[in-house]
Amino acid sequence: MTAELLNGREIAKDYRAGLASEVEKLKENGITPNLTVVIAGNDGASLSYVRSKNKAAEKIGMTSDIVHLGEDVTEAEVLEVLDRLNNDDNVNGILVQVPLPEQVSEDKVLEAIAPHKDVDGFSPVNIGRLYTGQRTFVPCTPLGIMELLKHTGSLEGKDVAVIGRSHIVGQPVAKLLTDQNATVTLMHSRTKDMVGKLSAYDVIISAVGSPGLIKAEHLKDGAVVIDVGNTMVDGKLSGDVDFDAAKEKASWITPVPGGVGPLTITMVLNNTLLAAKWHNGIE
């Protein structure tokens, strides 16, 4: 058996074409969605990622702005910028690139973003809405994972292992999977014999940043493998899964890079579109 490749770039391309069509319809009615990204400092990887979001938004017809603050910016200055953006009707989505400089509290910043503009879905209000089944912005990487899984068939009744319990990926994706009637086990660094248990699962989602953690022998025959790992090793991005070996045992598998990443950016655009629609009373 050789696994089918879950090509995130191709899936994202098709999804973004649909978003572009919806953006065009909004623009015909005088509404142009705007994504504004706030970044502090000059980290090369963060700057590159922000520019890629900006370019992706503009490519589907949105407007996109970058507010670039210095490494020595104060917390008060960041909060002042967010207050201005919260009150700017031309801004639909606000995204703050992390990590932030050490003098700026990430928690305070996330709490300061107006929930109706929090397209990352990280604010306490939106996280609470997700867990109580209310309309909200779903965090982008979990939403992208769910889009990838649509291509593998129904999740109902499947046994799923989610490795990593962060509030950014692991916990919200476990909630989304449960909503699709999967049975989910949330694993983490304190789970006993974690990789030894994986052969019992139909779907494995790994988001821990531990290159080569999961080998082919850890997988059930025909398992679906979603690799969210994203670690630089010898100048190359590496996932949590030994891809070359695992693809000979899995039924579906994501590559790194080119798997989950393109869908994460796509879902930022998706949430920005939703923000523009909801602001204008469009369901």
Catalytic status, residue 53: yes
Average pLDDT over every residue of 238-242 = 97
pTM for the full model? 0.96
Asked if pLDDT for residue 113 goes beyond 80, the answer is yes
Q: Annotated catalytic residue: which of 13, 14, 25, 53?
A: 53
Low-confidence winner among 39-43, 138-142, 176-180, 218-222 (lowest mean pLDDT) = 39-43
Domains in the chain: ranges and CATH: 30-114 (3.40.50.10860), 140-260 (3.40.50.720)
Instruction: Indicate whether 73 pLDDT > 80.
Output: yes
> Rounded to an integer, what distance in angstroms lies between the CA atom of residue 132 and that of residue 143?
17
Catalytic pick among 14, 59, 88, 97? 97
SS3 192: coil
Contact predicate 265/141, CB 8 Å? no
Please say if 120 is a catalytic residue: yes
pLDDT over 80 at 15, yes or no: yes
Regarding beta strands 236-238 and 231-233, do their DSSP bridges make them parallel or antiparallel, or are they unpaired?
antiparallel
220 catalytic, yes or no? Answer: no
Question: Parallel, antiparallel, or unpaired: how do β-strands 159-163 and 203-206 relate?
Answer: parallel
Contact criterion met (CB below 8 Å) for 21 and 269: no
Give the pLDDT confidence of 174-228 residue by residue, as tens digits: 999 999 999 999 999 999 999 999 999 999 999 999 999 999 999 999 999 999 9
Catalytic one of 118, 120, 202, 227? 120
- Average pLDDT in the 235-243 region? 94
